[in-house]
Amino acid sequence: MVPIAYRPVGTAEIFLEHRLAHTYVSELIHCVFSTKQRRNLISPEVQPRLWAFLGGVARKNGFKALIVGGTENHVHILLSLPATLPLAKAVQLVKGASSRWMNEKFETRFAWQEGYGAFTVGVSQKNDRLRIYRDRRSIITSAILRKSFWRF
C-alpha cells in the first residue's frame, strides 16, 4: 500500500492506517516581563506567592509554567504551551490575572510593563534552563539572555 503522502493525485483510496493518531508539540518558551517602569514592586516576601500564583494561572488555562523566578522588578517564566494556545494569549492571561491579583491582595498600584520577551527553548536545552532558574535569583545576568534580549 502506498502512504497517503505518495499516493497519486485523483485516487479515491483512503488509507486510514497512515493517519496520525495524536498530535505532539513541544513548545517551550522562556518569557521575561517587567513591572511598569521597572519599579521594584515585587518584594522578596511576595515573590514565592506570586510565582505560585503564576503557575496556577497557567494550570487553570491549560498550559504549564515549568518554573518561575525573578526579582523585585521582573519575572522569568518557562512555559510549555499546547498547540492550540498562541503565546500572546498565554502571556495576556498570566499578566492580566497576576496584575489583578497583586492589586486585590496587596492593595498596591501594581502593573506590568507593556510587552515581553519570549525565546524558544529546545527540548535538549530544557534541563539546563531549569537548572539556571534554580541556581540563580535572576537569570537576566546570563550572557546568553542579555545577548538575545537586549539586541532588540
The full DSSP string for 29-58 is EEEEEEBGGG---S-TTTHHHHHHHHHHHH
Indicate the residue type of 97. Answer: A
Cell numbers given for 142: 546570563
User: Is 88 strand, coil or helix?
Assistant: helix
Query: 134 versus 117: which is more confidently predicted?
Result: 117
**CATH annotation of 24-150:** 3.30.70.1290
What is the tens place of the pLDDT at every residue in 33-70? 999 999 999 999 999 999 999 999 999 999 999 989 89
How much is the pTM?
0.72
Of 18, 13, 128, 34, the residue nearest 78 (C-alpha): 128
What is the tens place of the pLDDT at every residue in 104-113? 998 889 999 9
- The structural domains of the chain, with segments of one domain joined by +, span 24-150
- Cβ contact 85:2 at 8 Å: no
